[in-house]
């Protein structure tokens, strides 16, 4: 069997990107979780931790952008492509909104009030996407 035939049958155009994609997806979830820890410490223990929370937020944006790029370039096929791409792009939009809410809500108000539920939505979406990626089998025909 030639390389072209193997690639044509594979549900992924570039299966070598699946492992880095899984690693980045896990790092996104970890970053969001660590952010929540620093937010809580910043609100109740030491306000300097809110600066660290914000820095990790900026890192999270870079991670979700990398994740979306890896999803795109991995070359998923069929419904998997649509599902992974939409979820990755929604995650990018939510994280961009989260950064805006975080920076504009430093003095409280509606932006700060929306920052927490948006963070919960980000965590849920990131965990679901990571679980789907870790459960994805590259040796199965795409749906």
* Residue whose tokens read 């030639």: 2
Least confident of 11-15, 29-33, 125-129, 138-142: 138-142
> Averaged over 114-134, what is the pLDDT?
97
Of 108 and 2, more confident: 108
The answer to whether 130 touches 29, Cβ cutoff 8 Å, is yes
Of 102, 105, 122, 97, the closest CA to residue 30 belongs to: 122
The rounded Cα 6 to chain-centroid distance in angstroms is 30
Give CA–CA dist 36/75, Å, rounded: 33
For 2-139, where are the alpha helices, taking DSSP H only?
Answer: 3-9, 18-44, 49-74, 78-104, 110-135
pTM over cut 0.85:
yes
Give CA–CA dist 109/96, Å, rounded: 19
31-76 pLDDT tens trace = 999 999 999 999 899 989 999 999 999 999 999 999 999 999 999 9
The answer to whether 122 touches 91, Cβ cutoff 8 Å, is yes
């Amino acid at each position: 069997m030639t390389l072209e035939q193997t690639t044509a049958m594979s549900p992924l155009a570039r299966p070598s990107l699946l492992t880095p994609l899984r690693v980045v997806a896990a790092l996104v979830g970890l970053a969001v979780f660590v952010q929540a820890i620093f937010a809580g410490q910043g609100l109740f223990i030491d306000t300097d931790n809110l600066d660290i929370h914000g820095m990790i937020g900026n890192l999270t944006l870079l991670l979700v952008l990398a994740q979306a790029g890896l999803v795109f370039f991995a070359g998923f096929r069929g419904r998997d492509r649509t599902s992974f791409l939409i979820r990755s792009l929604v995650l990018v939009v939510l994280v961009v909104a989260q950064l805006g809410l975080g920076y504009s809500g430093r003095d409280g108000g509606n932006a700060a009030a929306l920052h927490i539920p948006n963070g919960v939505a980000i965590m849920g979406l990131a965990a679901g996407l990571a679980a789907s990626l870790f459960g994805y089998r590259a040796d199965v025909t795409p749906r």
